[in-house]
Structure 1
Amino acid sequence: MFRHAQLESVKAWVADPAHAALPLHARVQRALRQLILDGAIDVGRPLPASRALARSLAVSRDTVEAAYGQLHAEGFIERRVGSGSFVSERVRRRRTAARRAGPAPLAAALSRRGAALFRDGGVRDFLAPRAFAPGLPETRQFPLQTWERLQRQVLREHGSAALLHSPPQGMEALRQAIADYVNLERGARATPGRVLVLTSSQQALALCASVLLDAGDRIFIEDPAYHGARRAFEAAGLECVPVPVDADGMRVQQLHEAAPARAVFLTPSHQFPTGATLALDRRLAVIEWARRHGAWIIEDDYDSEFHYAGKPTACVQGLDPHERTIYIGTFTKSLFPGLRIGYMLLPPALVEPMTVARTLLDGHSAPVPQLTLARFIEGGHFGAHVRAMRQLYGERRDLLARLVGRHLGGYLQPRVPAGGMQMPCLLTRAIPEARAVDAARRAGIDLLGLGGLYAGEADQSGFLMGFAAHAPDELEAAVRTLAGVLRGLER
């Protein structure tokens, strides 16, 4: 017979707000199915008559009949004319097989690559603009009304066609706008046909790792380096060979002295995380190295728009006459993270292979944001917004440097960058970096530890402190909070 505890369990499952989106008959069916799977109703045992269960649950008999019908269709119960409904013998076989198999350990269920991906922990985005999360732009001053107006124009002009798939390479209007922009502002050698629109720079890195290199291949990478790049390359089975960084960027001479590699990864405009700019002679040297070895240069220009002293240096791609450079850009930093639009500027020979490979990932980027962004760029709104943010971020960078000196001078030494959206600050006391990062997180502050960005033993410890997304009063409050955190770690 159906016991009181079983009936109460069904009532609780049906009334649970987490299941409210399900139709009533589906809630009853799934509650009964769970009791059967758990063994609370044994094989061969009868279920209550539909009329009696309906009365106990205060639902219609049709609701219970629909639930029983689904359980029967799935093989959980048998229905015998004149006798009622009983838990099926098939359930016993399913339970026996499950007991014999035992729980499958997670590691055994994953491929070697899958286990490595899981072990490395992926790349953690800072979802909310808590101080001092790096890489987050100021979104409260984004011209939303302009964006909304342009999006309405797109929908009026394109109608339902804007709801279809985008070409996997990206909408032509946006590829034209991107090519015009990087040619003018970054000194690139771009045409619309060489632009591949993606969802993010992280997707671009994953494509480079899988399309250009094989597992076991060597790739030179800055040390310290952007953790998302290192993890993307390691997940693809590549051997990341660290090359030290100094005040002029990667020590490119070491590429010529080391055993050959298939590629090199650079953040030349603002090295992540040090903020160094790759010197011109080193840019030319890395281009010559790539030509000589038939290697690829992967140039991540993630926040080049924000340069605070003079004009930014021309991108490596624009200096490379040998077509060995893949240029990666993103609008996540310059506009807003939720846009999810990045791009690659490719050598002609790579456009088709990269586009085909992209179709195996997510196929395409949404057309409406692409077309809206194209108009935003063409209308001069993108340039105006970047100029406004460049001034704002420069002021916030200078303020953070002053606040660190005033309130954290005994703990941190700021390294004021010439550009970018975050400032490296070096620990000057023997406070464990990881403990400080954890303590700060508990206090509502997000810090990215510098030590964890090195391939081996860290040359420096400290934090990468984002300043772009935080108003002056927010920066000051956060600095004072961090000072209290660091003082507490010394006690």
Structure 2
Amino acid sequence: MFKHAQLETVKAWMADPAHGSMPLHARVQRAIRQLILDGVLEAGRPLPATRALAASLGVSRDTAESAYGQLHAEGFIERRVGSGSFVSERTQRLPVRSHSRRARSSAPHLRLSQRGMAMFQGGGVRDFFKPRAFAPGVPETRNFPLQTWERLERQVLKEYGTQALLHSPPQGMEPLRRAIADYVNLERGACASPERVLVLTSSQQALTLCASVLFDAGERIFIEDPVYHGARKAFDAAGLECMPVPLDADGLQVEQLLAATQAMASANGPAGQVPRAVFLTPSHQFPSGATLSLDRRLAVIEWARQQQGWIIEDDYDSEFHYAGKPTACVQGLDAHGRTIYIGTFTKSVFPGLRIGYMVLPEALVAPMTVARTLLDGHSAPIPQLTLARFIDAGHFGAHVRTMRAVYAERRDVLARLLRAHLAEFVEPQVPAGGMQMPCVLIRDIAETAAVQAAQRAGIDLLGLTGLYASSRHQAGFLMGFAAHAPHELEAGVMQLAKVLRGLCR
């Protein structure tokens, strides 16, 4: 028979709302099975008769009989005519599930591969799931033309029917690849064709593909310093050695890249291994906001030609430029086919869309597409086809123009608020584009303490120090402004001022 505590455990399991979708007999069966798995009901233990169990649990005898029947079919109990039901002797071989401290301490040692450990220790890339105050990289979604999107999605389903429910080609749906090629050619000055576009789920996936397909562990890659953390973590996880190149007001200091290349080429042994690629965010550098000058773009292209290396160009939020027209992308200037262009729609449309892309040199299309099949196979067809219509009908361009004006106003509002209420703590570096503002700490406050205290107060900041690969760094943080209306920015600044003053006491 069940002890009182065991019977109450079964009743609690049955009453748990999380199990409410199960039939009643399944809840009884699962509860008893869990007691067996936890070692509470040991092998050979007699079980109550179905009539007695039904009465104790307040269920019908048929329910208890169905529960026992399933337990018997699964081998957890034995039913002997004239003797009753017993926990099966076979359950002695089951590992006991225990939540005790002793069980946790005897758990098997976790052994990961070097790449797995690098990914785990790197902490991954944290998305800001809710637009809390100043979360960087989060767009405004309340202004999105949702009715237009719904209408286009209905058109897709009407035209494609059940075909839209099948797998997409791993390279992406042709209408979207064509729309992307047309868009980047017109708006970004790229040189793209639908055949060279690879549709992905994100720019992070593109970076991971570049790191794993183009390089072996131990190879080197030039990166900006500071650099987008998602890129550096992708390269670190692939076992690459990141070689930082400093920035100034005109972006990456290409003369430093050329000098480092020459020095390594002259050295012997591992020190002589010249990186075969450089990672850039040239249109709007992350996090500084600098734009790479034309002469430096041309110099990087010539470096790639001479070294037979790659330029990995991340054009992550180039649509949002607030002073004049955006600078044309590096890929469109590269006549040698050495540039891999990465873009995403998570910032310009909405984060939940999960569509990014690469414009690839022709020779890389097949290798990258095949490698992509080993990750997630393909992107969902319905959002791809809907986005293609959204772009082709001009809705995407109209939305970007609207949000560009909205974001420019919010950038200016945030700059004014910081100068009015936080001038004693930070110096804002107002960017010419993008969705976040770098702020350098000018008060003797620890960056980590400021970020953690702000987080406890409901404010998300991204520290600047962790974005540097070298010892040259400025303490501070990035403040996102795109997702917040002016009154929300004001409330957030006032709360942050309170947090920083609390740290100075």
For normalisation by structure 2, the TM-score amounts to: 0.94
**Bigger Cα displacement from structure 2, 68-77 vs 80-89:** 68-77
* Amino acid in structure 1 at the alignment position of 2:364: L
- Across the aligned residues of Structure 1 and Structure 2, the Cα RMSD in angstroms comes to 1.7
Task: After superposition, give the CA deviation of every residue in 1:250-296 in whole Å (9 maximum; x if it has no partner).
Answer: 11222222231021111111110000111111111111111111111
Q: Indicate the residue corresponding to 1:406 in structure 2.
A: 420
Question: Which residue in the other structure is 1:186 paired with?
Answer: 188
* Equivalent residue number for residue 8 of structure 1: 8
Shift of 1:313: 1.2
Residue 120 (structure 2) aligns with: 118
Name the counterpart of 1:319: 333
1:104 alignment counterpart: 107
Written as runs of structure 1 = structure 2, the 5 A alignment for 1:401-480 is 401-480=415-494
Paired position in structure 2 for 1:49 = 49
> Could you tell which deviates more after superposition, 376-385 or 249-258?
249-258
Alignment partner, residue 391 of structure 1: 405
Shift of 1:416: 0.8
Further displaced range: 81-90 or 427-436: 81-90
Tell me, in whole angstroms, the C-alpha distance in 1 between the residues paired with 2:424 and 2:251.
28
Deviations 1:29-59 (A, max 9, x none): 2211121122222221111112211221122
Partner of 1:269: 283
After TM superposition, the structure 1 = structure 2 runs for residues 25-174 of structure 1, keeping only pairs within 5 Å, are 25-95=25-95, 103-105=106-108, 107-108=110-111, 110-174=112-176
Question: Structure 2 matches for 1:145-294, cutoff 5 A?
Answer: 145-258=147-260, 259=264, 260-294=274-308
- The aligned amino acid for 1:89 is E
Indicate yes or no: 2:354 matched with 1:352. no
Shift of 1:106: 5.3
2:37 and 2:94 in contact (8 A); partners too: no
Matched residue SS, 2:163 = helix
Distance in 1 between the 2:479 and 2:469 partners?
20
Partner AA of 1:306 in structure 2 = F
Greater mean alpha carbon deviation, residues 254-263 or residues 265-274: 254-263
Aligned: 1:333 with 2:347? yes
CA distance in 2, matches of 1:100, 1:128: 37
In structure 2, distance between residues paired with 1:114 and 1:231: 12
2-structure distance, mates of 1:93, 1:367: 47
Bigger mean CA deviation after superposition, 238-247 or 302-311: 238-247
How many aligned residue pairs are there?
490
Q: CA deviation at 1:101?
A: 12
Compare 279-288 and 323-332 and name the one that shifted more: 279-288
Deviation at 1:94, TM superposition (A): 2.6
Gaps of 5+ in 2: 265-273
**For the Cα contact (< 8 Å) 2:37–2:97, is it kept in 1?**
no
Using the TM superposition, name which of 353-362 and 96-105 deviates more.
Answer: 96-105
Q: Letter of the aligned partner of 1:40 in structure 2?
A: V
- Secondary structure of the residue aligned to 1:350 is helix
SS across alignment from 1:265? strand
- 1:97 is displaced (CA, Å) by 12
How far does residue 2 in structure 1 lie from its aligned partner after superposition? 1.7
- 2: CA distance, partners of 1:453 / 1:283: 23
- Partners of 2:39 and 2:97 within 8 A in 1: no
- Tell me the CA shift for residue 152 of structure 1: 1.1
Counterpart of 2:47 in structure 1: which amino acid? L
Asked if 2 retains the 8 angstrom alpha-carbon contact of 1:452 and 1:458, the reply is no
What's the offset of the Cα at 1:172?
A: 0.7
CA contact (8 A) 2:331 2:339 kept: yes
Structure 1 length normalisation: TM-score? 0.97
Read off the aligned partner of 2:352 and give its amino acid letter. Answer: G
The runs of at least 4 consecutive aligned structure 1 residues that moved more than 3 Å come to 95-106
